[in-house]
């Protein structure tokens, strides 16, 4: 049976990034923004429930990472891979093994179809809400129940089960959401950024 594809953003979906970056004292740094600090992405903590969620969902989905790294922080690209290997392993037991995409325009990837879980509409995430490619964007945490530590895993498992009958991601999401009525994402253009972003 073909599994649906599930793409996960890293920052603020798998990795608890913003609390660390927002707390950084930039007076002691030689760069303009906290996301430009070399090595800052390597040792960030996981979001509550994220590691367990990935391990459960990898049974039902073909898993991928779709993340953006700061242009002015070359170490971030490497550090994100190191983070994934730290929490999921460096070999093919890692559900993301050789399935990591770093892009400043995530919309370029949505033509493959599937679900993207991303906390923001930016960098092409909102382009995933596209019926023509059978792709969908779920905004992590927009509905307070749709987080790893609450009901997001159950929702995605139900979608995977519905997909087995429909072979259509959007139809499966619609079918499942008819009974639970989650707000799957917010406005595709507006989002409140951190002060330094």
Q: Active-site residues: which are they?
A: 9, 11
As a whole number of angstroms, the distance between CA 55 and CA 117 comes to 16
- Contact indicator for 44, 57 with CB cutoff of 8 Å: no
193 HSE (CA, 13 A, CB side): 7
As a whole number of angstroms, the distance between CA 70 and CA 54 comes to 24
Strand-pair category, 62-67 with 5-8: parallel
As a whole number of angstroms, the distance between CA 75 and CA 67 comes to 14
- Collapsing DSSP states into helix, strand and coil, what is residue 8? strand
Sheet of 100-102, strand order: 100-102, 62-67, 5-8, 114-118, 135-139
Angle at 70 between CA 186 and CA 105, to 5 degrees: 50
As a whole number of angstroms, the distance between CA 74 and CA 71 comes to 7
DSSP character at residue 41: T
């Amino acid at each position: 049976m073909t599994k649906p594809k599930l793409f996960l953003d890293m920052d603020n979906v798998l990795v608890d990034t913003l609390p660390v970056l927002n707390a950084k004292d930039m007076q002691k740094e030689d760069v303009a923004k906290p996301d430009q600090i070399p090595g800052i992405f390597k040792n960030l903590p996981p979001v509550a429930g994220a590691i367990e969620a990935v391990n459960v969902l990898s049974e039902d989905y073909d898993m991928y990472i779709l993340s953006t790294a700061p242009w002015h922080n070359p170490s971030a690209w490497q550090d994100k891979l190191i983070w994934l290997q730290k929490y999921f392993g460096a070999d093919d037991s890692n559900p993301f093994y050789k399935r990591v995409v770093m892009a400043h325009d995530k919309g370029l990837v949505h033509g493959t179809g599937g679900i993207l879980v991303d906390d923001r509409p930016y960098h092409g995430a909102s382009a995933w809400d596209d019926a023509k490619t059978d792709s969908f964007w779920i905004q992590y945490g927009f509905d307070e129940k749709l987080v790893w530590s609450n009901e997001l895993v159950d929702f995605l498992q139900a979608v995977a089960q519905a997909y087995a009958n429909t072979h259509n991601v959007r139809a499966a999401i619609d079918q499942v959401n008819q009974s639970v009525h989650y707000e799957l994402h917010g406005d595709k253009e507006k989002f409140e950024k951190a002060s330094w972003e």
